[in-house]
Structure 1
């Protein structure tokens, strides 16, 4: 039988990459192994690999598996990989083929329903992926991947066209500060950032795309985690920074009806922090202290957010803007 790993070996130098580069054709597995690897190469993508005839037949999927049968995703057929690659995680050196970090995103077993040169139907049984999919060839190495059954239980699409929630002005702090979380009022361009498949799009309140090139890497930082973020592009120490203060969608679930405390907790779990993006600090019940700190920093106001309030598009008295 022909050696199906010739192309794989030709592209890799075992002296320079930690990837497995077996001399032999490859050891056979059980015939039903699959792995999905998150690959932070020049462009973030996910590698879907299905065991077939002793190798891992592979596709690079730029946006990951589609969660919705209404949307297909591009899948680019790549060279077969050795079975040893099913357990590979590591950093491929810069300058080498596929340079970047590789992490196992999911793995498990699969069932083959159909396999031909133009169409592959299969059922995944993974730790994160369950369901029926079909890969179908469109042109050359380009294929598409389609989810054949319904969305995963509980999954819902990301809300579109959401208007930002805005505060009403009040002269004084609320009398019951324990019911509120207090934040600094950030001045700048308001924007909702939609992140799916590692790609980020920032839109202003009118729905216009205002995505800056420097902000796009935040999508890659979140990886496979889908999110709809609310924040503002503010100038911090002379540098534009996207300051995030709310989370409206995460991991296939809309959060607009959730209370602020719950949304805030999920936002903090995302761990958004860096030189050009950060999570805004929030202080439950600390109205007077936050107002004093804002005055020292020369900020114009503080925002009081009722902790039990859902996200209400448009102006709402659940959020209060109190000038210094």
Structure 2
């Protein structure tokens, strides 16, 4: 595909004046060229950078007339044509920024960590002050996209092609958590079970997408999460959509979200996936932070877990069959809550 004749934007003065005016090269590791930008290259490079600044967003940049024309996209590039995402036009960046990764000091403009999320080439179909149509070819995202101006610096980005992953499913609006039945004794066949601590907290389901998080309670009703938890947890998962199941409890005097299941991940419902495999996928996410932790689990070792729970003053132990699916809203014998005060077998 080739650009329509007459749509190429003419060069303007010093395209990098605003960029330089916002940065002190003595304080930031970002490239800050002393000279004005000069056209070179084929106007075919694009990059998407994940930017953990005051709020997580993704920076979309296209090489154009010697600079990287840039938009900040708070929720990342849409994977389906059914959803448009906000894209805020920002100052032009130097071409050297296409390979930049590093930590910008927190007290500097754009302070935070920058990593390259994707890069590749693109073709221009149309480029004007109000509309940009491109075909991008990256390793993580490819396809036809259009950016259109809605007012001031605010634009929207729309995917024109079919979904990048036709089998991907959006996160559910609400998912009621699976519930255990109460039992007085540990299961006889402990090798067929995994064991977790019962934390005695408030059940919360977390829906993470585009770096943002919303929560529902044990009845599937929308609720507010603890201050700051949603944005920080969303930032940890980045562009990976997920539904997390956990309890909000107090550990060492601090409110902590203990995560013990993942019923939906990367556009795939995991309801029919065995508990053992869901836990393995959850562990791979390595979710550990100042206000959240991946809860530990112990296959086949219920007696030791129960003894530790009693020593720590925890209310009980959860026994979960290793082959059990996730049954939203159901009280299932595949999950069992055993109180530590109950008599052992």
Q: Could you say which TM-score interval applies, normalised by the shorter chain?
A: over 0.9
Counterparts of 1:53 and 1:178 in 2: how far apart (Å)?
Answer: 64
Q: Which residue, 165, 168, 187 being the options, matches 2:178?
A: 165
Aligned residue runs from structure 1 range 213-224, under 5 A: 213-216=227-230, 217-224=232-239
Shift of 1:76: 0.3
Q: Which residue, 104, 116, 121 being the options, matches 2:128?
A: 116
Q: Which residue, 26, 32, 56 being the options, matches 1:44?
A: 56
Q: Which residue, 255, 264, 268 being the options, matches 2:270?
A: 255
SS in 2 for 1:25: coil
Name the counterpart of 2:336.
Answer: 320
| Gap change, CA 1:23 and 1:214, over 3 Å in 2 | closer
Counterpart contact for 1:159–1:254, Cα < 8 Å:
no
Aligned residue runs from structure 1 range 116-135, under 5 A: 116-135=128-147
TM-score (norm 1): 0.96
Counterparts of 2:92 and 2:108 in 1: how far apart (Å)?
Answer: 18
Counterparts of 2:19 and 2:315 in 1: how far apart (Å)?
Answer: 59
Q: CA RMSD in A?
A: 1.4
Structure 2, unmatched stretches of 5+, are 1-10, 341-345
TM-score (norm 2): 0.90
SS in 2 for 1:262: helix
Name the counterpart of 2:8.
Answer: none
Aligned residue runs from structure 1 range 43-122, under 5 A: 43-122=55-134
SS in 2 for 1:80: strand
Counterpart contact for 2:124–2:134, Cα < 8 Å:
yes
Shift of 1:276: 1.6
Counterpart contact for 2:193–2:300, Cα < 8 Å:
yes
Name the counterpart of 1:23.
Answer: 34
Name the counterpart of 2:303.
Answer: 288
Counterparts of 1:297 and 1:142 in 2: how far apart (Å)?
Answer: 53
Counterpart contact for 2:15–2:37, Cα < 8 Å:
no
Aligned residue runs from structure 1 range 169-208, under 5 A: 169-206=182-219, 207-208=221-222
Whether 1:13 and 2:27 are equivalent positions in the alignment is no
Counterpart contact for 1:257–1:311, Cα < 8 Å:
yes
Q: Output one character per residue of 1:198-217: Cα deviation in whole Å (capped at 9) or x when no partner.
A: 11112112312121113122
Whether 1:308 and 2:320 are equivalent positions in the alignment is no
Counterpart contact for 2:244–2:259, Cα < 8 Å:
yes
Name the counterpart of 1:3.
Answer: 14
Shift of 1:127: 1.3
Structure 1, unmatched stretches of 5+, are none
Whether 1:33 and 2:33 are equivalent positions in the alignment is no
